[in-house]
Structure 1
Amino acid sequence: MNLDDYDALYAFWRATPGVGLSTVDSRDGLARYIARNPAASFQARWGDQIVGSVLGGHDGRRGFLYHLAVASICRRQGIGRRLVAAALTALRAEGIEKCHLMVFSDNDQALAFWRRLDWVVRDDLRLVSFELASMTGSPAGTGDPD
């Protein structure tokens, strides 16, 4: 994947229900992501139209997939499976043994897709986040000891 298709890719993501976008999905944000993870992001095309995408990357320990999306008129044709397989193959080639992803809790269609691929929905974990842009003072918050 490269930035030549950024405008079309961003428009595709915006038009795909279930894809959550933020400031890190800007052109500069995607450029940073691809620079850190050059081998595991892919898109599917039908002619000159983007009909699928996945962003794959890792932090050296675990892989992560973002923005798996397939155009609604192209679903149930194996495009999503092939995109996932390509990303996972690339991550495995880099020594990554486990991969995670995030799905909105009300996105039943996506959860069913991942279950069909034998991914495990973890009920034993909670996602905990911190907005670095809002950080003032101690990154740990109050600075109170544990």
Structure 2
Amino acid sequence: MSDLRIRSADPSDVPAVLGFWRVAAEGTSISDDEAGVAGLVARDPGALLLAERDGTLVGTVIAGFDGWRCHLYRLAVHPAARRQGVATALLSAAERRFTALGGRRGDAMVLERNVTAHGAWSAAGYVREARWRRWTKSLG
């Protein structure tokens, strides 16, 4: 894993991240556009973590902290780089970020239908929270 570099995204990464998610991420988000990702990077420059190998993007995770909760979104690893420790490295970096910011517990948005991801999250020590369900409302 020594050839893996984890860093925060900057505004110039936005197009590459959007293209990467089309290949590596499961499903789409209402914020999967240039304005959404650029807004994230501008508002919280350390939240979007990128994993690179030899300068090539191989993984992402959004590690957002609102001062109260630690939220994980868009954990995605390129299909050719899966099962090589990329997700583990990204989650470790996210958890270090949360701890440094005073966070106490991470929670992850994981699609029900993405059964492969369930195993990865479980292996990383996360457990499904049976008491809660996500409620949403589009704002625009």
Cα distance in 2, alignment partners of residues 3 and 10 from structure 1? 12
The question of 1:115 aligning with 2:114 is answered: no
* Conserved 8 A contact 1:40-1:91: no
Match of 1:2 in 2: 10
How far does residue 30 in structure 1 lie from its aligned partner after superposition?
1.6
Aligned-pair Cα RMSD in Å: 1.4
Q: Is the 8 A contact 1:62 1:98 kept in 2?
A: yes
Would you say how many aligned residue pairs link Structure 1 and Structure 2?
132
**Are residues 52 and 19 of structure 1, via their aligned partners in 2, closer, same or farther at CA, if it must alter by over 3 Å?**
farther
- Aligned-residue sequence identity (percent) comes to 32
Q: Which residue does the alignment assign to 2:91?
A: 84
Whichever structure has more strand as a proportion of its residues is 2
Is the CA contact (8 Å cut-off) linking 1:14 and 1:21 kept in structure 2? no
Matched with 1:12 is 20
Deviations 1:59-100 (A, max 9, x none): 110011111111111111111100011011011101111111
Q: Matches of 1:105 and 1:25 in 2, distance apart?
A: 19
Q: TM-score, normalised by structure 1?
A: 0.83
Deviations 1:30-70 (A, max 9, x none): 22212332223211122232111111111110011111111
Q: Which runs of 4+ in 1 moved over 3 A?
A: none
Partners of 1:19 and 1:69 within 8 A in 2: no
Higher Cα Rg: structure 1 or 2?
1
For the structure 1 residues 82 and 107, does the alpha-carbon distance in structure 2 shift closer, same or farther, using more than 3 Å as the test?
same
- SS of 1:109's partner is helix
Aligned match for 1:105, one of 112, 118, 129:
112
Question: Aligned partners of 2:105 and 2:114: how far apart in 1?
Answer: 23
